[in-house]
């Protein structure tokens, strides 16, 4: 498919990745617009490097594209920035296709690739932070970026053309025949980038801040991530958004997550909604039966506060609520956003008790007493929910102020 080879303008770099039009579930993440696995060829005057590879089912596509750009025997280096199989899954085939190529990566990534592949025959060039590799008239520089997204993650930087190969950071799950941010309106790019950040990177805010600081002094004309569109025009906008997201700097927004069997918990959720809205917050009400975890993470990322409610089912919370809590426990650390819990039960209310144990385990910032109702909420329960919503809304606004004041200092 030669039409899908795309060059980065004014640079000896060709995109040779694969577009995954049909993926709708990426280890649980609902990828409504599909994705892409981006790989690149850099042609220096003396040496040629392939940067990253694609998910194994797309391997033959990558091999065909590499052959269209260069004689595989003339590929000197295969750079691996991240060992996750969606980017490293075809390295084994590249190694076979390019008999003279060394796999260039850091020591930890080398070890991980060894645990995922039979690497006995691979030739290696192990690099460290800030090492440079000459391709003749071009230079690749390697910048380690641990925990963006795994411990072995690193950036590659093409010095002369000022291109940062940013691996998972600044990526988006976005299938397209177009390759650049200039091909789309900002709101769509932003939506895909935020959803990706929330679901893949939210836990790594601090390590991403460190990595961004490490490359902040470099001139960067192009950010070429391992998923989605390549950034040329929108780099400052994206960096500003990453600054907000990595600091979990919220909007004035409260998100209420809940599930219900016979609507009593929903009645409570609606009253909390009324209270938080009266406090001055935008409020989102998400019933977890209908809203997937991808949406939950996306909404929580920029929430200043949240509430979580469940009916009691068989002495536990509802499974949809348990799934949301498990997902959020992984993504929210520290869980300093103000939160409250609530729910309806018939006789022992163990569902909300279990929910509270999970809030405790995630060291959540619980700001109101739990509200439990027996079957249908009484007028007193309804009033309690309204007041708790009001309080949650106020705490959320305080949280918003403190996060934005921190930023201004």
Ligand X SMILES: Cc1cc2nc3c(=O)[nH]c(=O)nc-3n(C[C@H](O)[C@H](O)[C@H](O)COP(=O)(O)O)c2cc1C
Q: CB under 6 A: which stretch of 45-53, 98-106, 163-171, 256-264 binds ligand X? A: 256-264
List the interface residues with ligand X, window 361-380 (CB under 6 A).
375
Count how many residues are written for the chain: 409
Q: Closest separation between CB of residue 344 and ligand X, Å?
A: 4
227 is catalytic: yes
Q: Report if residue 344 touches ligand X, rule: CB under 6 A.
A: yes
Q: Report if residue 265 touches ligand X, rule: CB under 6 A.
A: yes
Q: Report if residue 261 touches ligand X, rule: CB under 6 A.
A: yes
40 is catalytic: no
DSSP output for 181-227? GGGS-HHHHHHHHHHHIIIIIGGGHHHHHHHHHHHTTS--SEEEESS
Within 8 A by CB and 6+ apart from 359, the residues are 308, 325, 335, 339, 341, 366
**What string marks each residue from 207 to 246 as x (binds ligand X by CB under 6 A) or -?**
----------------------------------------
For ligand X, the closer CB: 186 or 262: 262
Active-site annotation holder among 20, 40, 76, 82:
82
List the interface residues with ligand X, window 127-146 (CB under 6 A).
none
- How many Å apart are CA 377 and CA 247, to the nearest integer? 38
404 is catalytic: no
Cβ count within 10 A of residue 168: 24
86 is catalytic: yes
Q: Tell me, by CB under 6 A, how many residues bind ligand X.
A: 19
Tokens of residue 80, six digits: 């691996």
168 is catalytic: yes
Active-site annotation holder among 87, 173, 227, 399:
227
Q: How far is CA 390 from CA 26, 251, 259, 297, in A?
A: 37, 17, 21, 23
Q: How far is CA 312 from CA 342, 346, 357, in A?
A: 10, 8, 14
Distance of alpha carbon 72 from the chain centroid:
33
- How many Å apart are CA 211 and CA 142, to the nearest integer? 12
196 is catalytic: yes
Kindly tell me the number of DSSP H helices and DSSP E strands found in the chain: 12, 20
Q: Report if residue 270 touches ligand X, rule: CB under 6 A.
A: no
Q: Closest separation between CB of residue 18 and ligand X, Å?
A: 45
> Using CB under 6 A, which of 90, 153, 260, 291 touches ligand X?
260
Q: Closest separation between CB of residue 265 and ligand X, Å?
A: 3
87 is catalytic: no
For ligand X, the closer CB: 191 or 267: 267
Active-site annotation holder among 155, 196, 327, 386:
196
- How many Å apart are CA 198 and CA 109, to the nearest integer? 25
- How many Å apart are CA 211 and CA 195, to the nearest integer? 20
List the interface residues with ligand X, window 296-325 (CB under 6 A).
311-315
Q: Report if residue 264 touches ligand X, rule: CB under 6 A.
A: yes
For ligand X, the closer CB: 265 or 294: 265
Cβ count within 10 A of residue 185: 8
Q: CB under 6 A: which stretch of 83-91, 115-123, 195-203, 258-266 binds ligand X? A: 258-266
**SS3 sequence of 258-317:** EECCCCHHHHHHHHHHHHHHHCCCEEEEEECCCCCHHHHHHHHHCCCEEEEEECCECCEC
298 is catalytic: no
Active-site annotation holder among 20, 61, 76, 86:
86
Q: Which residues bind ligand X (CB under 6 A)?
A: 260-265, 311-315, 344-350, 375
Residues annotated as catalytic (active site), given as ranges: 27, 82, 84, 86, 149, 168, 196, 227
């Amino acid at each position: 498919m030669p039409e899908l080879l795309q060059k980065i303008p004014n640079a000896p770099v060709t995109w040779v990745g694969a577009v995954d039009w049909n993926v709708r579930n990426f280890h649980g993440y609902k990828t409504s617009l599909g994705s892409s696995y981006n790989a690149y060829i850099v042609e220096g005057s003396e040496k040629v490097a392939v940067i990253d590879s694609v998910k194994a089912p797309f391997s033959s596509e990558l091999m065909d594209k590499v052959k269209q750009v260069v004689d595989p025997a003339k590929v000197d280096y295969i750079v691996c920035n991240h060992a996750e199989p969606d980017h490293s899954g075809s390295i084994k085939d590249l190694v076979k296709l390019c008999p003279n190529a060394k796999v260039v990566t850091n020591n930890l990534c080398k070890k991980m690739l060894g645990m995922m592949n039979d690497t006995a025959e691979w030739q290696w060039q192990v690099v460290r932070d800030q090492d440079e590799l000459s391709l003749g008239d071009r230079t690749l520089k390697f910048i380690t970026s641990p925990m963006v997204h795994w411990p072995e993650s690193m950036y590659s930087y093409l010095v002369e053309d000022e291109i940062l190969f940013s691996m998972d950071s600044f990526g988006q799950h976005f299938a397209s025949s177009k390759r650049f941010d200039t091909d789309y309106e900002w709101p769509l790019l932003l939506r895909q980038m935020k959803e990706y950040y929330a679901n893949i990177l939210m836990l790594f805010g601090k390590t991403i801040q460190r990595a961004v600081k490490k490359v902040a002094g470099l001139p960067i004309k192009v950010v070429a991530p391992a998923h989605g569109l390549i950034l040329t025009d929108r780099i400052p906008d994206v960096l500003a958004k990453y600054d907000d997201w990595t600091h979990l700097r919220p909007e004035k927004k409260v998100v209420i997550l809940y599930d219900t069997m016979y609507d009593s918990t929903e009645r409570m959720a609606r009253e909390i909604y009324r209270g938080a809205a009266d406090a001055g917050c935008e409020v989102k009400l998400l019933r977890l039966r209908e809203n997937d975890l991808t949406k939950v993470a996306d909404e929580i990322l920029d929430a200043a506060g949240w509430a979580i409610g469940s009916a009691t089912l068989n002495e536990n919370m509802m499974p949809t609520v348990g799934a949301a809590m498990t997902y959020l426990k992984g993504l929210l650390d520290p869980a300093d956003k103000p939160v409250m819990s609530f729910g309806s039960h018939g006789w022992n209310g163990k569902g909300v008790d279990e929910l509270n144990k999970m809030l405790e385990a995630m060291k959540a910032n619980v700001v109101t007493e739990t509200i439990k109702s027996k079957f249908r909420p009484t007028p007193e329960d309804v009033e309690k929910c309204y007041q708790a919503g009001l309080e949650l809304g106020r705490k959320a606004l305080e949280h918003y102020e403190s996060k934005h004041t921190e930023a201004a200092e």
